[in-house]
Each structure stands twice: as structure tokens, then as C-alpha cells.
Amino acid sequence: MEQRDNPGGEGPAAPGGAGSEGAGAPGAAGAGGSRAAGAGGARAAGDEGAGAPVTAGSEGARAAGSGGGAGGAAAGGARSWPPAGAVPSGWPDEGVAAHYGDPVREQRTMATGAVVVDRSNRGVVRVGGPDRLTWLHSLTSQHLERLAAGSTAQALILSPNGHVEHHLTLTDDGSAVWMHVEPGTAAALAGFLDSMRFMLRVEIADVSGGYAVLTIAGPDAAKHAEAAKALAVAGTTGPFGIDLIVPRERIAEAAAQVDAAPAGMWAFEAARIAARVPRLGVDTDHKTLPHEAGWIETAVHLGKGCYRGQETVARVHNLGHPPRRLVFLDLDGSVDRLPGHGAPVVTADGTRVGFAGSSALHFEQGPIGLALIRRTVPVDATLLADGIAAAQEVIIAPDAGANVEVTLRRDSLPPPVGQRRLM
């Protein structure tokens, strides 16, 4: 008997935001937002000629200060914050730096040592109260009721039809859960959580205005982050290092304590794309199912009980196939541009099969990207993303269903729930 695809659609006419809150108008391709040339002629996808000074992102007010030059910071660590010479990012990372003058060196340093990345544009939500873990367990895709203090988990909040609305990275400090989310989504998340409180003993607050995320990334991240942990209220392990949640007024102090070279979002995003890690609202749209993006491996507990959207997750996993699949794009390096976010992805005969998500110029691999395409597209088909030829590499297998196969690179999976204590 032929299996049928489950609801989700085969590709939007124009990708929108994740869930009701939206993710911003399509613009930069999620690679830092600056097209300013760095060393070696590198450039990131985004708005041209971004010249405004780096200031706080949409989640909270943090004026950019002046500091030592980027070269001095790179040689001797982050001595002041933010360093002078920061080139601002475009969508979706307005308010933080795309790079500090040498994006190629920033990428190399992140790959071999440690860097400190300003991700203060991310939203931060705090949930307190004695019922917080069992309550979040009932609302999200993750098994959280026995989350150990100090450990990290990823979780999703789904629509009733199983579409991804929020992606959370969270930890519990023993008295409250701290979570950080995509820029511009914290208020909507806090509003949804507040609407689901009922009579439970929980306290929800969007604290993005008072707290910021500072990421220490690279193979030596743990060593460099140790000194700054005393200034953080919480910390999570991410795909590439450690995310510290610090009071906004102490972010400069925390960055100085890290004693690592600064790197912008270009370096961070290039590493994320190379690791095949999707980003909500950039590599997804309002119809995305967890299976399509590979979050079934990292943010969904298939053995837990009922939560909103769980029926769709179970149906796709046990009976059908996700309608679309995330793919890695090895883009034609002879073209002097990157695909625009949301641009059509077509086959050789011009048939539209999906849309382009993140893209960036990687210091080793050249131009790379992610796209969400129809499940039925042959895995050996050459694609055109915004008119740029691209060879696809499988992340989600076309026959994924009861046994979803996800291909991730560079130890991109966070540790299992409850494994590691940071604070």
C-alpha cells in the first residue's frame, strides 16, 4: 500500500516567519548581513553597504561602546566590548557584528581555538515557580520534567498541526528555567506561555531587556569560558561551544574575562551552515515540521506523552514521510554572490522545488548554504538556488519516516538532556 506524505506542503511561494510572531522580512541570508569585503575577498550574505553602528538587537537596548581595535582584540583577547571596527549585521542579526575586519581569520580561529561571539540580539525568557519543569514538559516536544539542574536541552513549541513555532535552547538553574530564542520571538513566546499558565505555579518573564547571550565558540571554548561563568546567571551548551546568559550591563566585563578573540556572526553562521544545523525562521517557514529540519534528533523526545502537535510528529515518524527535506548546498564558487533568503530553488528544467535559507562564504569550503526542498527531488539532482548552480548533499533522507536519518557535521549535536552541568 502506498504511503502518503503528511500535511506540511511542498514548498512556500514565499517563506515567512516561524509561527505567529514572524522572523522578519526576507533579506540577508543568515550569514551575518554584511557584504563588506574582508581578507581574501570574503563576503557574507545580507544588505549592501550596511554602515550603521552596531547597537543592541531588537530584544533589548545595548548601545555599542568604543574599544580597542579588532586587531588588538584578536591578538590578545577581547579587552573591551564591542571592539572598534565592527561591521554590523543585517537581517536576521541586526544589532550585533557581522565581523571585526577579518572574517576569514575569525573563522579559522573559531575552528582551531576559541572566539567570543556577541549574540545579544537573541531573546531571553525566564520561567520560575515550582511547577515549571512539569508544565514545560506538557507544552513542548522535549522530556523536561526531570531535567537536571545545569544541563542543556533543546525543545520545540508546535502548532496544533505540528508546525514549528518556536525553537528553545534552555537550562534549569535549580530555581528557574532560562531559555534563549531567535531574535524578535521572545515576546511572542512569553505571551503564549503566559496564556497557558492556568492555575499552575509558574512565573513567565521576557527578560531580553536585562539579559544577553554571549557565546564562546570553538574547540577550546570550555577553557576560555570558565572565568566568565561567575558573571552569568545561566549557561547552555550549544553546537559549537557555550552560551552564557549575562546581565546586559556586564556583557563587556564578561567578554573581557573570556580572553578570546572576537568573532562576528559571519564566522558563527558559516560554521553552523557547514555543520548542517538549521535556524528557525531562516531555514524554515511557517509550515515546517520537525522531521523536515532534523530536529527530531535534537529537540523531540519520541517517547513522551501528549503535547500540542504531537499527533503529527507521531504520524510522520511511524506512518509516512515528511513532505520536504533540508539539504546542504555546495554552491558554484564562480558566481560573485550568494542566494537571497527565500529565493526559489529549481531543478534543471525550471521546476520550483523549494526555497533557499542560510548561505555564507566559508573559509575552507567556499560558498555554502541550506535549502528546504521537496522530499521527492532526486538526491543526485543539480539544483539552482536563486540562479546559482548547487550540488545538494543529503541531510534528511528522502525515505525518512519511522527511522529518520540526519547527517550533521563537526559534533553539531548538543549533549543529551541532563548530561552536563555548566554553572
pTM (two decimals): 0.81
CA-based nearest residue to 95, from 124, 53, 67: 53
pLDDT, tens digit, 9 for 90 and up, residues 280-326: 999 999 999 999 999 999 999 998 878 999 999 999 988 889 999 99
- Mean pLDDT in residue range 329-345: 97
Q: CA 18, 208, 211, 156 torsion: positive or negative?
A: negative
> Cα separations (Å) of 397 from 228, 279, 374, 392?
41, 19, 11, 12
Rounded CA separation 317/319 (Å): 6
Is a pLDDT exceeding 80 seen at residue 81?
no
Is a pLDDT exceeding 60 seen at residue 415?
no
Q: What is the pLDDT of residue 64?
A: 36
Q: Which residue has the cell 515557580?
A: 129
Q: What is the pLDDT of residue 74?
A: 37
Confidence of residue 377 (pLDDT cuts 50, 70, 90): very high
Q: What is the pLDDT of residue 402?
A: 55
Peptide bond preceding 344: is omega within 30 degrees of 0, i.e. cis? no
Q: What is the pLDDT of residue 66?
A: 33
Q: DSSP state, 53?
A: P
Q: Which class is domain 17-322?
A: alpha beta
Burial label, 88 (beta-carbon count in 10 A; 0-12, 13-18, 19+):
buried
Q: What is the pLDDT of residue 54?
A: 54
Asked if residue 288 lies in contact with residue 6, where contact means CB atoms within 8 angstroms, the answer is: no
Distinct helix (H) and strand (E) counts, the chain: 9, 20
Higher pLDDT, 251 or 21: 251
- Mean pLDDT in residue range 371-385: 97
Q: Which residue has the cell 533568503?
A: 341
Beta bridge partners of 235: 244
CA-based nearest residue to 184, from 52, 93, 49: 93
Asked if residue 129 lies in contact with residue 203, where contact means CB atoms within 8 angstroms, the answer is: yes
- Please state, as a whole number, how many other Cβ atoms lie within 10 Å of the Cβ of residue 113: 16
Asked if residue 390 lies in contact with residue 310, where contact means CB atoms within 8 angstroms, the answer is: no
Across 248-347, where does the E strand assignment appear?
A: 261-263, 324-331, 344-346
Higher pLDDT, 420 or 153: 153
- Please state, as a whole number, how many other Cβ atoms lie within 10 Å of the Cβ of residue 379: 11
> Cα separations (Å) of 391 from 75, 361, 380?
37, 16, 8
Domain range summary for the chain, segments of one domain joined by +: 17-322
pLDDT, tens digit, 9 for 90 and up, residues 101-121: 999 999 999 999 999 999 999
Question: Which set of grid coordinates corresponds to residue 202?
Answer: 509558574
Across 192-247, where does the E strand assignment appear?
A: 203-206, 211-217, 234-238, 241-247
Q: CA 103, 105, 109, 115 torsion: positive or negative?
A: negative
Is a pLDDT exceeding 60 seen at residue 278?
yes
Rounded CA separation 6/313 (Å): 10
Rounded CA separation 261/99 (Å): 11
pLDDT, tens digit, 9 for 90 and up, residues 248-272: 999 999 999 998 999 999 999 999 9
- The beta-carbon contacts of 299-302 under 8 Å, at least 24 apart in sequence, are 299/141, 299/142, 299/154, 299/155, 299/156, 299/167, 299/168, 300/141, 300/142, 300/156, 301/141, 301/142, 301/143, 301/417
* Greatest C-alpha distance within the chain: 67
pLDDT, tens digit, 9 for 90 and up, residues 168-225: 999 999 999 999 999 999 999 999 999 999 999 999 999 999 999 999 999 999 999 9
Asked if residue 157 lies in contact with residue 192, where contact means CB atoms within 8 angstroms, the answer is: yes
pLDDT, tens digit, 9 for 90 and up, residues 22-68: 333 333 444 433 333 333 333 343 333 344 445 444 444 433 333 33
- Percent with pLDDT over 90 in the chain: 70
- Mean pLDDT in residue range 336-365: 97
Higher pLDDT, 374 or 199: 374
Buried b / exposed e along 146-174 (16+ C-beta atoms within 10 A): ebeebbbbbbbbbeeebbbbbbbbbbbbe
Confidence of residue 2 (pLDDT cuts 50, 70, 90): very low
CA-based nearest residue to 290, from 325, 263, 319, 245: 325
Burial label, 112 (beta-carbon count in 10 A; 0-12, 13-18, 19+):
exposed
